Chain A
Amino acid sequence: MSVLTPSVACMSDAILVEGLQKRFGSNTALAGVDLTVPEGSVLGLLGPNGAGKTTVVRILTTLLQPDGGRAEVAGVDVVREPDRVRAVIGLTGQYAAVDEYLTGFENLEMVGRLYRLGKRESRARAQELLERFDLTDAASRPAKTYSGGMRRRLDIAASLIARPRVLFLDEPTTGLDPRSRQGMWEFIADLAGGGTTILLTTQYLEEADRLADRMMVIDRGRVIARGTADELKAQVGGQRLELTLGSAAELADAARLLAPLAAGETRVDEQTRRLSVPVREGTDSLAEALRLLGGTDVQVLDVGLRRPDLDDVFLSLTGHAAEDGSDGEGATQAPVQTAGSAR
């Protein structure tokens, strides 16, 4: 999994997007997005709700018309020749788009027929994919009886039936329990290993980290960072040490005492009496923190190490939290270090 394309792209790009714009009424969903996904690689498109991830996917899968810019999938313009694009892509949307009244097999066969695979080939592919996605036992039951995880698997299987060159997965694990999520990750990693180009949107840094060769963070319709997982995490500052204290009055003292360990800005929350310190040394930092606080009056109720999540990425990149749409627009553009950008 190392498709770190240098600026001279020797492989062809399966997805090419330039200056993509989209407005809904007075609301700007995409304010000029550029991206490329080299053939056979996985791009993780990361961002909070409403960032514009789904709008990008919808334009690339021909469901929406852009207001400006250019988008090509497998070398074909999505606006000018949508039918040729549809023939080479697979889409799995945010909601498992399977027909609940059809059985798993019937769902796959129908989609195969609509891709023009013909009856025999559609059935053979349906059987094959049911096996691959562990759905053989449930093949003849209506999809209505499936669990959330099974529906998602069936949905992905449907998008793979015509062996698409480019696969779009829009938040493929949102709403799944941890076990199903794990399973889904394995399936996706498998596909990527098989050479399918994938554009994956997600709200989870961990998911993009696990599956994507490269990541792109978008916020309010703009790309605010791109790079590999490591590059992004380096910007965020690795793990965080989180402490809950006995009283809010001790927060300032504790922050001062722990300053030598901090690899970045320490966050203090008076209401929950919590302190969050970015650290470099992981468990060593944890032990050191407890030693530093040990001889003092600071009362520690709870302490732990946490890996950075999307919120941390957002805070460090934009100065506002992922779910917080209110504060300064200017902040979104300030700290963009386009680490390892492909362009």
Chain B
Amino acid sequence: MSSLSVAVEDGLTITRRNLVKVKRVPELIVFATLSPIMFVLLFRYVFGSAIPIQGISYAEFLLPGIFAQTIVFGSTITGASLAEDLQKGLIDRFRSLPMAPSAVLVGRTVADLALNALSIVVMGVTGLIVGWRIRSSLGEALAGFALLLLFAYAMSWLMATVGLLVRAPEVVQQASFIVIFPLTFIANTFVPTNNFPTVLKWIADWNPVSAVVQAARELFGNTAPGLGASDTWSLQHPVLYTLIWSALLLAVFVPLSVRIYQRTASR
């Protein structure tokens, strides 16, 4: 067997293992499905009742934003799960087996990609019920979902690296919330950024999450003429900017996390 087919096969074995866990741990299903539903409903009716968006309904403005926020939060599962495997000695076992060194990380990130896809489907259906509409072509809509998942996958590898370094699942979860909350809120996720203070507006404009959201809005047709995005390059070319970020994250964190994995052992 070539080393690539070995890596694919081992990666699939680990993916299967991680998906079995999703099936058997109710909290994970809740995290992946119920909480996104709750967020869609809360934001749609609480913020939506107070924030008028020019040209489109708040539900249409909101959904691309909440897709992005949920998948970015979803990446913390990658980090926390790896830290848990490390803590329980499972990484030691895997590292003593003649398997591909990338398999544990590939299996983890692919399983989390599946979980993210599930979250998006659940949120999409909930969104459609409360007034979200896709106003673009099928191809564009699919591209929108694909772009969201690509960014989610790249974020998973970043969090994989964090999880292997931090080694404590609770710490991974809590520490990353401190970073991820501002990351997803100092952005165009839930409100237009026009009235942000100058510094925050600058951060929001170049925040990759803003670009992901803007790209999704454009690909789902959830934009309106009056709702002009900032004229920064990042938001004028949100798809390209998102692709660049995703490529960058993957190029740095895939090799880095595999390298760390090969040297790590529980203590």
Contacts and interface: CB of A to CB of B under 8 A. Distances in A.
Nearest to A142: B24
Nearest to B91: A97
Contact of B95 (A62, A96, A115, A158): A62
B93 interface: yes
B90 A99 contact: yes
B259 interface: no
A64 interface: yes
Nearest to A86: B98
B24 A93 contact: no
A47 to B, nearest CB: 18
A114 B265 contact: no
A131 interface: no
B20 interface: yes
Interface string A47-79: 000000000001001111100000000000000
Interface in B1-58: 1, 6, 9-10, 13, 16-17, 20-21, 24-25
A87 B98 contact: yes
A113 B90 contact: no
B237 interface: no
B89 A58 contact: no
A70 to B, nearest CB: 20
B17 A102 contact: yes
B24 A101 contact: yes
Interface string A78-98: 000001001101010111111
At the interface, is chain B mostly helix, strand, loop or mixed?
Answer: helix
Contact of A83 (B1, B89, B98): B98
A93 B92 contact: yes
A275 to B, nearest CB: 41
B98 A115 contact: yes
B122 to A, nearest CB: 22
A113 B98 CA distance: 10
Interface string B81-112: 00000001110111111110001000000000
A95 B89 contact: yes
A58 B265 contact: yes
Contacts of A99: 17, 21, 90
A63 B95 contact: yes
A102 B99 CA distance: 19
A267 interface: no
A111 interface: yes
B89 A114 contact: no
**Interface range for B:** 20 to 34
A97 B24 contact: no
B89 A97 contact: yes
Given A93-B89, A97-B90, A101-B25, A86 B96 contact: yes
A158 B92 CA distance: 13
Contacts of B96: 61-63, 86, 89, 91
B23 to A, nearest CB: 8
B257 to A, nearest CB: 17
A116 interface: yes
Contacts of B263: 65
B136 to A, nearest CB: 40
B160 to A, nearest CB: 18
B97 A115 contact: yes
Contacts of B103: 114
A111 B92 CA distance: 13
Contacts of B13: 110, 113-114
B99 A114 contact: yes
A86 B96 CA distance: 6
B94 A91 contact: no
A158 B20 contact: no
B17 A110 contact: yes
Contact of B21 (A58, A61, A83, A101): A101
Nearest to A110: B17
A98 B92 CA distance: 11
A114 B7 CA distance: 10
A229 to B, nearest CB: 29
B97 A86 contact: yes
Nearest to B24: A101
27 contacts: A58-B265, A62-B96, A63-B96, A64-B265, A87-B98, A89-B96, A91-B92, A91-B93, A93-B89, A93-B93, A95-B88, A95-B266, A96-B89, A97-B88, A97-B92, A101-B20, A101-B25, A102-B20, A102-B21, A106-B17, A110-B17, A111-B93, A113-B9, A114-B10, A114-B99, A116-B1, A142-B24
CB-CB nearest 8 A-B residue pairs:
A97-B93, A97-B89, A95-B89, A86-B98, A101-B21, A91-B96, A87-B98, A114-B99
